[in-house]
Structure 1
Amino acid sequence: MQTRSRWKAIHGVLLLDKPVGLSSNDALQKARRLFQAARAGHTGTLDPLASGLLPICFGDATRFAGLMLDADKEYIADVRLGVRTATGDAEGEVLSVRPVLCDVAALDAAIKAHTGEICQLPPMHSALKRDGKPLYEYARAGITVEREPRHVIVRRIDRLSTDLPDFSMRVLCSKGTYIRTLAEDIGESLGCGAHLTGLRRTGTGGLTLQDALTLETLAGMDEAARLARLQPADLLVRDMPHCALPDSAALRLGNGQTVALDALLAGPGELREGMTLRAYGPAGFLGLASVQSGCLRAKRLMPTNAIHKPEST
């Protein structure tokens, strides 16, 4: 007798507060099993050392997960000056210990110097791949490979608590920014070195920890309560401008046909060539469409049987 699969067609976005000690994929799989979701993906890797916001997409929401990879991120980082480690964090072997002779004014100057567009050398203990293998695998084997420096943008750093040689900072940065490297570079500019003692992601793409749940909290809920905490797929694109379409135009767009811009019921005041919009019909979120040659063209659509009501407009 054939056994029915326990995996279900679950759709939506879970804002997970990932614990320290789990990889992003481990956290994803644990959440997926709790929901018994047939399809799931996350929106950007968070190191095992780090805790905090990890949006997880189930089912049709995975169509929009990749858009979050390019989003700005916000972190709170705990840093210890004077000690440099092999991994740039508290888990690595201590490589050097130097006296911390700076004062708070010098620390602030170093922080300011590392704000804006900066160049970073990706750390060996990272998930960045070389010849199909993550750099951390080379590092664990004692091998150092060449890496290309990368330009990233540190939009803002706010120093929070300070008790030298320890301090904490809030960092708002572009994708691809390595916070452990930022901490190390600040320490080197002060002549003493540094490493991360803690890291927590507090935001990504406008999403925050406010509505995030831990795995322990989810495990203590029944199925109905868990499902009630899922967010709609358009949460992932809520910062994009939106437009509303009547039934006939929504049907055309859903079938991959173009829609004349004068058919819009509502939209941004200015429509520019190439602009991407969140498109809504009477039944809810249709997906993403772009302005091309005076028309709206489908870019990434929801399945017609999985239309979601708008998260926000």
Structure 2
Amino acid sequence: MGRRKKGEKIDGWINLDKPLELSSTQAMAKVRRALNAQKAGHAGTLDPLASGILPIALGEATKTIPYIQDGMKTYEFTVSWGEQRSTDDSEGDVIASSDVRPSLEQIKGALPAFIGEIEQIPPKFSAIKIDGERAYDLARDGEDFEIKAREVYIGSVELVEAREHEADLVMSCGKGTYVRALARDLALKLGTYGYVSALRRTRVGPFNAQEALTLEKLLAKIEELGDSAATLDALQPLETALDDIPAFAIKEDEAVRIRNGNEITLISKPDFERLAKAGIENEDEALATYKGKALALVYRDGPKLKPFRVFNT
């Protein structure tokens, strides 16, 4: 007899506005405990010194985390000029300084060089692995090591306000982009040093700040609902992470096969017409649904739909 899992079976996403001074894991754990959920995860780590959008996945939604992590993200941040910090943020030690302070025009002129696909070297205090070790562990131990540059995508970076000693910016970027590295490199391009002194994430894929709940408000709502917490209106369906993946409704007998991890073969003309209408071409991924609910992510191989991630909802 299988061991019964502790907690409630709750599936979906919570659009959390993480507060400062709390790690992503700590924030996720608070939500999980409050909901008494069996399983939880988060999409896209935010440092304790950063606030903002931290999507929390519950139950079967954890299977869709990679789709959120691969999405575009938006950050609002402040760069303080004149100091280089060991961590490229306000937590680190000062390792170099400069009296140079860039003007508004100079900052605006430098930004276009950081838009598009660029090469970026992650900060030494980062989760990048070097020969199996986390870079931040090596850095804390005083080890001498190099991190290779990697290609990242920045959709836009704009100057919001410039003051004598700091500047506020907003950036939209893809997976793996470090705001701290951008601040460091922008300062160097401007002939000075700089680090991130404030950071807030305002968007992760389909999740944005306008619709987010602070941890305080979320916990209050959960406490108010009590045993009915699973009906929380802030709980978004797991399909939220798959909003850019075409959906395909299947029949009952097909749903049984897919649910058991077996492929199905489409043979009727109407089925192929629906595939075409949904824009599902050969070798595409699609979301198989049954009675309006997400059933599985499938891969199209000619007339066959092969499940590679089944949702037990």
The Cα shift of 1:40 comes to: 1.0
* Equivalent position of 2:94 in the other structure: 94
1:244 aligns with 2:249: yes
Q: List runs of 5+ in structure 1 lacking aligned partners.
A: 307-313
* Equivalent position of 2:63 in the other structure: 63
1:129 aligns with 2:129: yes
| Contact 2:35/2:229 (<8 A) preserved | no
1:233 aligns with 2:241: no
The Cα shift of 1:268 comes to: 5.4
1:258 aligns with 2:264: yes
* Equivalent position of 1:271 in the other structure: 280
For the residue of structure 1 that corresponds to 2:203, the secondary structure is strand
- Structural mapping, 1:37-116, within 5 Å: 37-116=37-116
Which letter does structure 2 place at the counterpart of 1:279? Answer: A
C-alpha distance in 2 between matches for 1:277 and 1:168: 40
The Cα shift of 1:248 comes to: 3.4
Q: List runs of 5+ in structure 2 lacking aligned partners.
A: none
For the residue of structure 1 that corresponds to 2:235, the secondary structure is coil
For the residue of structure 2 that corresponds to 1:297, the secondary structure is strand
Q: Deviations over 1:77-102 (max 9, x none)?
A: 11112221111111111222312343
* Equivalent position of 2:295 in the other structure: 286
Alignment RMSD: 2.1
| Contact 1:243/1:268 (<8 A) preserved | no
The Cα shift of 1:210 comes to: 2.4
| Contact 1:122/1:147 (<8 A) preserved | yes
C-alpha distance in 2 between matches for 1:280 and 1:156: 35
| TM value normalised by structure 2 | 0.89
C-alpha distance in 2 between matches for 1:54 and 1:268: 35
C-alpha distance in 2 between matches for 1:140 and 1:227: 44
32-41 vs 238-247, greater mean Cα deviation: 238-247
Q: Deviations over 1:235-269 (max 9, x none)?
A: 11112122222333333333322231743684553
C-alpha distance in 2 between matches for 1:297 and 1:194: 50
* Equivalent position of 1:311 in the other structure: none
| Contact 2:75/2:170 (<8 A) preserved | yes
| Contact 1:111/1:186 (<8 A) preserved | yes
What count of residue pairs does the alignment treat as equivalent? 301
Which letter does structure 2 place at the counterpart of 1:50? Answer: A
| Contact 1:244/1:264 (<8 A) preserved | no
C-alpha distance in 1 between matches for 2:294 and 2:62: 15
| TM value normalised by structure 1 | 0.89
Task: Percent identity, please.
Answer: 34
C-alpha distance in 2 between matches for 1:143 and 1:21: 27
C-alpha distance in 2 between matches for 1:146 and 1:97: 22
